[in-house]
A and B are shown apart, each in its own frame.
Chain A
């Protein structure tokens, strides 16, 4: 069974360039704006969308994504509304893969079976759930695979060769390599170490490897994209939204436009990646 993620990754591979994976928080700063931001992403060059599910206690996220989650929750965002957001986006775009990213509790409370059915119906292609390591696969990973939804695992600098097979075992879609031990929004790790890690992971799997955590600029996207199959940018995009919000959350400029400008630049970086690597 192939998913939109598999198809998109295969297409980019044939084009010889890495994917630009963009993260936005669902419902940030409000539902309607969030939908228009999402729609702007593929147009500006994003190949795959990670849609954040806001959670009150995002323990792997730095201040920027924490604040984005709080803005969304304040605006009335719920898991049900995040699914609705995805399906409204999907109505106008049947190709860009959407991966939901977040924490387990809202899914657990929604009910795993009901969640998977609704996620599929909303056009969701994959899941990244930070607090579900392989030891907890029975909770959601196995049911998701059965339902035909990719379960994308995080591999980290602490995932050594001994552990890697366990992490890769039930992973599908792609592998998300977390570039550093840390939370989202931290400074980018040593890029040489990152590409060594990507090579190491590729020795264990045929799946594409995307790298995230710390990538903020087009130049960084270009460097990381030289070895990785995809580059994930989150905090920089979330900050671009925050930067056009006033102290009371009022918009001082169009957030969708701010995001589009940033993402266009990142897309150029990613597209230059392999050219640079070939030089």
Chain B
């Protein structure tokens, strides 16, 4: 890849075609095209509409519990013996992760567009739960597509979705993970395009989804930036987030992109190592291709067939990534590093013991990277780790890995 010239600002994308450099776009079937053009138009109105903003603000505060705290993780800081570690506590949001930020925004868009039915895809089940939650709150029927493997490894979330009144449809194609769920959601959407709103759970898919999901999630970074200035009187030195499709990461990163002195690190699922195919490190080991409506880094073979990948964490088990991350990678603004299953598991256990916080396995990947770099940093340096969700959903997976019975 040629390195694109350094832009004046990293925060202006996408362009009118929905591109971030060569990434992004609208690679969808004609059936969906009129709908995503309509969505774009509605979104352009909504984002400048004071009433829309006020309604979202009100729900964020009183329903989701924002702002989430920026918490000084003293136990972990002491344990690591280097820079000061802060957690952005998205795990404390209603439904237990950052996914609610996006779902509240999109359900208001669905309402604006007069849609009658919500569909969503989910990996870890956090987005499925958040979708089912807002559907319940606003009185919509909701169908959630979830890979059969994920249905098994995230059973607490499957039950939560059912309690919330959603129908969970297991998808057996491929490895039965997030990619397969997304294919099936797209097939439903193409079939029921008139009345259905597709509530995409991450900053990927055809334009305008990557942009609008990012904008709904950017509340994470805006808050964290202001909170750090208030609590420490300066910006952090490093910010870290796990990257599945990339929504919690872009939400944290985006408000910091033009702060040149802030180092930004995205963490991909390294699975069982990057040598084979058992990982989901699309930006470290994949190449650009087209899937699910956008061009982005993908795990694929020489014939352009998409690989299934692997991660211990259902939310990171996706062979692609949102297009803005691909662009940030190529432009060099953000550094993307892999973390192995075992390293995430260790971070999961350590955080639980020294902080009394059970992190989601996705978030544990980000913490694991902090564990690597923080001890080498100075004591007066500042690191923010995005604690994108809580780990209650993962206890079965962790018990399995540790050979324990629940």
Mask, A106-132, CB within 8 Å of B = 1, is 111110000000000000000000111
Say yes or no: B193 contacts A158, CB within 8 Å: yes
Say yes or no: A109 contacts B303, CB within 8 Å: yes
CA distance A163 to B305 in the complex (A): 32
Is B351 an interface residue when CB atoms closer than 8 A count as contact? no
On whether A131 and B304 interact (CB within 8 A), knowing A104-B27, A182-B190, A186-B191, the answer reads no
Which residues does chain A contribute within 8 Å of B229, judged by CB atoms? none
Shortest Cβ distance from A104 into B: residue: B290
Residue total for A at the interface (Cβ-Cβ under 8 A)? 43
CA distance A27 to B383 in the complex (A): 53
Mostly, the B contact residues are: mixed
Say yes or no: A181 contacts B30, CB within 8 Å: no
**Chain A, 21-80, CB within 8 A of any chain B CB:** 54-60, 62, 66, 73, 78-80
CA distance A62 to B300 in the complex (A): 22
Say yes or no: B191 contacts A182, CB within 8 Å: yes
Mask, B18-43, CB within 8 Å of A = 1, is 00000001111111111100000000
Is B2 an interface residue when CB atoms closer than 8 A count as contact? no
**Chain A, 176-201, CB within 8 A of any chain B CB:** 178, 181-183, 186
On whether A183 and B289 interact (CB within 8 A), knowing A79-B303, A109-B304, the answer reads no
Is A155 an interface residue when CB atoms closer than 8 A count as contact? yes
CA distance A107 to B17 in the complex (A): 21
Say yes or no: A156 contacts B31, CB within 8 Å: yes
Number of A-B residue pairs having CB atoms within 8 Å of each other in the complex:
113
A106, A154, A183: the one within 8 Å of B304 (CB): A106
Is A278 an interface residue when CB atoms closer than 8 A count as contact? no
Shortest Cβ distance from A55 into B: residue: B305
Say yes or no: B30 contacts A159, CB within 8 Å: yes
Which residues does chain A contribute within 8 Å of B32, judged by CB atoms? 158
B28, B173, B194, B300: the one within 8 Å of A131 (CB): B28
Say yes or no: A78 contacts B31, CB within 8 Å: no
CA distance A60 to B186 in the complex (A): 8
Shortest Cβ distance from A69 into B: residue: B305
Say yes or no: A59 contacts B303, CB within 8 Å: no
Is B75 an interface residue when CB atoms closer than 8 A count as contact? no
Which residues does chain A contribute within 8 Å of B305, judged by CB atoms? 54-56, 73, 106
Mask, B290-320, CB within 8 Å of A = 1, is 1111010010101111100000000000000
Residue among B17, B25, B31, B190 with the highest chain A CB neighbour number at 10 A: B31
Measured as residues with beta carbon below 8 angstroms from the partner, the interface class of chain B is: 35 or more
On whether A66 and B173 interact (CB within 8 A), knowing A60-B190, A79-B303, the answer reads yes
CA distance A181 to B287 in the complex (A): 32
Say yes or no: B30 contacts A156, CB within 8 Å: yes
Which residues does chain B contribute within 8 Å of A154, judged by CB atoms? 29-31
Say yes or no: A57 contacts B25, CB within 8 Å: no
Which residues does chain A contribute within 8 Å of B293, judged by CB atoms? 131
CA distance A186 to B174 in the complex (A): 21
CA distance A135 to B29 in the complex (A): 11
Shortest Cβ distance from A63 into B: residue: B173
Say yes or no: A78 contacts B303, CB within 8 Å: yes
Is B335 an interface residue when CB atoms closer than 8 A count as contact? no
Which residues does chain A contribute within 8 Å of B302, judged by CB atoms? 109
Residue among A57, A136, A159, A163 with the highest chain B CB neighbour number at 10 A: A57
Is B179 an interface residue when CB atoms closer than 8 A count as contact? yes
A59, A130, A158, A182: the one within 8 Å of B34 (CB): A158
Is B187 an interface residue when CB atoms closer than 8 A count as contact? yes
A60, A108, A163, A183: the one within 8 Å of B290 (CB): A108
- Shortest CB-to-CB span from B269 to chain A, Å, is 19
- Shortest CB-to-CB span from A122 to chain B, Å, is 16
Say yes or no: B194 contacts A60, CB within 8 Å: no
Is B149 an interface residue when CB atoms closer than 8 A count as contact? no
Shortest Cβ distance from A163 into B: residue: B34
Report the 4 A-B pairs with minimum CB-CB distance, sorted nearest first: A109-B304, A106-B304, A56-B305, A156-B31
Please give the residue numbers on chain A whose beta carbons come within 8 Å of chain B beta carbons, in ascending order: 54-60, 62, 66, 73, 78-80, 103-110, 130-136, 153-160, 163, 167, 178, 181-183, 186
Please give the residue numbers on chain B whose beta carbons come within 8 Å of chain A beta carbons, in ascending order: 17, 25-35, 173-174, 179, 183, 186-187, 190-194, 287, 289-293, 295, 298, 300, 302-306
Known: A105-B289, A106-B304, A178-B30. 17 other contacts (CB 8 A): A56-B306, A59-B186, A78-B303, A79-B303, A104-B27, A105-B298, A105-B306, A110-B303, A131-B290, A136-B27, A154-B29, A156-B29, A158-B30, A158-B31, A163-B33, A181-B190, A181-B191
